[in-house]
Amino acid sequence: MNSSVTIDLVTHDHGCAVLVVRGELDLQTAPVLYRRGLDAVGEGTALVLDLSGVGFCDSSGFNALLRLYRRAVLDGGGAFALVSPPEQISRLLPLTGGEASIPVHPSLERACQHVTAAPDARAA
């Protein structure tokens, strides 16, 4: 299997860290995503993963997303959201209970507004 992924870290106008992911998330590329995500996550960081350029995601990629969510939100006290995840992720989130915890947004703008809102506003 010859898979590749490109991950760019940008700071959005709202002040959140955004990982723009393009390519495939699989056994080979999931560790790359996780390492880049760890680099972006700090204490209280608002992290958005823009997955609009991801064409495929297997269980390894999904696991990397869940681990980043845990690190950003549960361990770090920050916020986390996904933008336009591929169908594989959209189908898995409800099965794992992730849809109740991990916000999914149709646009980067809305995701960044969400993660930089006050914690009470994010829960609404």
Mean pLDDT of 49-61: 96
Residue 31 sits at the vertex; the CA angle it makes with 26 and 33, to the nearest 5 degrees, is: 85
Within a domain: residue 121? no
Q: pLDDT, tens digit, for every residue of 91-110?
A: 999 888 776 789 999 999 99
Look up the pTM and report it.
Answer: 0.89
SS3 (DSSP) at 64: helix
Predicted pLDDT at 30: 97
Q: Which of 17 and 44 is assigned the larger pLDDT?
A: 17
Phi, psi of 115 (to 5 degrees): -75, -20
Within a domain: residue 117? no
Q: pLDDT, tens digit, for every residue of 37-51?
A: 998 887 668 999 999
Within a domain: residue 109? no
CA dist 11 → 63, 71, 106 (Å): 24, 19, 18
Within a domain: residue 123? no
Within a domain: residue 85? yes
Within a domain: residue 96? yes
Domain count, the chain: 1
Which run of H or E residues covers position 37? Answer: helix 30-40
CATH number of the structural domain spanning residue 90: 3.30.750.24
Predicted pLDDT at 97: 76
Range of the domain at 74: 5-43+53-103
Residues 66, 34 contacting (CB under 8 angstroms): no
- For the cut 80, the answer to whether the pLDDT of residue 29 exceeds it is yes
